[in-house]
Amino acid sequence: MTAISTPARVLRGPLLSFAADPGDGDTPAPGSVRHLEDGAVWMVNGHIHAVGDYVELAPHLPAGINVVDYSGKLMMPGFIDSHVHYSQLDIMASYGRQLLDWLNDYTFPEECRFADRVHADAVAEAFLDETLRVGTTTAQVFCTSHPGSVDAFFSAAKRRGLRMLAGKVLMDRNAPDGLTDDTLGGLADSERLIGDWHGKDRLGYSLTPRFAPTSTREQLEATGAVLRNAPDLHLQTHLSENEGEIAWVSELFPESRDYLDVYERYGLVGPRSTFAHGIHLDQGMRQRLADGGASIAFCPTSNLFLGSGLFDRQACHDVGLATSLASDVGGGTDLSGLATLKGAYQVGQLLGQPLTAWQGFYRLTLGNAKTLHLDQHIGQIREGGEADIVVLDPQATPLLARRTARCQTLAETLFALMMLGDDRSVYATWAGGQRVHARDAA
């Protein structure tokens, strides 16, 4: 429930929302897609009061209610990014390194700057401006190891009435002094932040051990203890992204049979745990993750940019392991969900498992919401849900207009958007019933 009371409004225009997983076939599973040619979304107090065909809803609307006309556009639920680092906004596109060098050369020095709260506030605002500009209304966010970076992020998200998950990075070794925390002090800071922010307005806390190499056994153990006592918290970390990283983990944790075993030992593999990347896994590890109810965040533009490898979505699907879609900025090259879909399609092509537009847009919306256990609030345009909506423009650029003029079906238009779309294709973004971005606003 958002604290912000917003005036009732109706958004009118074409509308697409998923009610269930459409599957991987060219035709969506029966009943999985809701598409209205001339739809209406009636928003009251940050929630969707009613949704349906405009002609059917019109007689029930209060006289004089504000109707925003989005004819020719396409309304969808706000996009969701399941794994992103707000603190890495300004090191996106840093040349020529794979993961461990990239962390040491660019990422860790940049994150040290977040000891300064003024800097953290400024980047948090810039990050949210950008995410809303690309239609992303919810994300699961890594802050830095500085508690102030989390206060900065949550304060900015709260002011804008957004649903966000975030957490303080836990890392007590193998990083510069300006970034490492104290083993148990890091957990005490996390507990203070949980008290201040978790469950407040639309905010939720994710425990955030960075990855196995930067936490001692003691810190991982203490993180597991906090999670056991508060199972409604989320947990986010990284897993099996890069070959050098995996070799390092086996040196640091010789007692563990594999990388995943490190997290299992400390009770970190649970239903609300998101493991970013999970590229280099065998089927046994995938099965263990599935059995724990955990999920993997597939971050295609990051995996391509850092040369980490090709994520095998089908192998996860085969063992019932849930996957979400994520940007992983600043390893990722684009905050845009549309760009993430394009990357996912390209990775899929190289593995002989191309992503359909149906599956792609499902993942960006209801699929990610379900995987993050947020689907009681977001992910669909449905009565009672929170009013987070992205309005796409299939004619956003001359090229897109030419291409979509040729499209005979909605599937073709969606595919053109996912391959040719970018921030210009996002005409407007609404969050909690308020317009938080308008492309053409003066």
Nearest to 217 by CA among 180, 179, 253: 253
* C-beta closer to Zn ion: residue 327 or 404: 327
Four-residue CA torsion sign, 87, 93, 97, 98: positive
* C-beta closer to ligand GUN: residue 89 or 103: 103
Among 174, 223, 302, 371, binds ligand GUN (CB under 6 A): 302
For helices 147-159 and 117-133, the axis angle rounded to 10 degrees is 40
Among 50-58, 273-281, 339-347, 430-438, the segment contacting Zn ion (CB under 5 A) = 273-281
Structure tokens at 54: 């405009």
Q: Looking at residue 64, what DSSP letter applies?
A: T
CB 259 within 8 Å of CB 288 = no
The yes or no reply on residue 300 touching ligand GUN (CB under 6 A) is no
Burial class (CB in 10 A: 0-12, 13-18, 19+), 30: exposed
Residue 274 beta carbon to ligand GUN: minimum distance, rounded to whole angstroms: 13
Structure tokens at 326: 């994520």
The yes or no reply on residue 328 touching ligand GUN (CB under 6 A) is yes
330 cis-preceded (ω within 30 degrees of 0): yes
Nearest to 9 by CA among 389, 438, 426: 389
Among 40-48, 155-163, 327-335, 384-392, the segment contacting Zn ion (CB under 5 A) = 327-335
Nearest-CB residue for ligand GUN: 331
* C-beta closer to ligand GUN: residue 16 or 84: 84
The yes or no reply on residue 328 touching Zn ion (CB under 5 A) is yes
Of residues 62 through 121, those in contact with ligand GUN by CB under 6 A are 85, 99, 103, 107
* C-beta closer to ligand GUN: residue 56 or 101: 101
Nearest to 237 by CA among 167, 312, 338, 309: 167
The yes or no reply on residue 285 touching Zn ion (CB under 5 A) is no
Own/partner long-range contacts of 54-60 (Cβ < 8 Å, ≥24 apart): 54/12, 57/10
The yes or no reply on residue 238 touching ligand GUN (CB under 6 A) is yes
**Which residue do the tokens 């599973």 mark?**
29
The yes or no reply on residue 278 touching ligand GUN (CB under 6 A) is no
Total of residues contacting Zn ion (CB under 5 A): 2
The yes or no reply on residue 181 touching ligand GUN (CB under 6 A) is no
CA pair distance 395, 77, nearest whole angstrom: 19
What does 2 bind: Zn ion, ligand GUN, none (CB cut-off 5 to 8 Å by kind)?
Answer: none
* C-beta closer to ligand GUN: residue 238 or 272: 238
The yes or no reply on residue 377 touching ligand GUN (CB under 6 A) is no
**Which residue do the tokens 């699961």 mark?**
140
The yes or no reply on residue 143 touching Zn ion (CB under 5 A) is no
Among 80, 162, 276, 417, binds Zn ion (CB under 5 A): 276
Contacts with ligand GUN, residue ranges (CB under 6 A): 85, 99, 103, 107, 210-211, 238, 241, 302, 328, 331
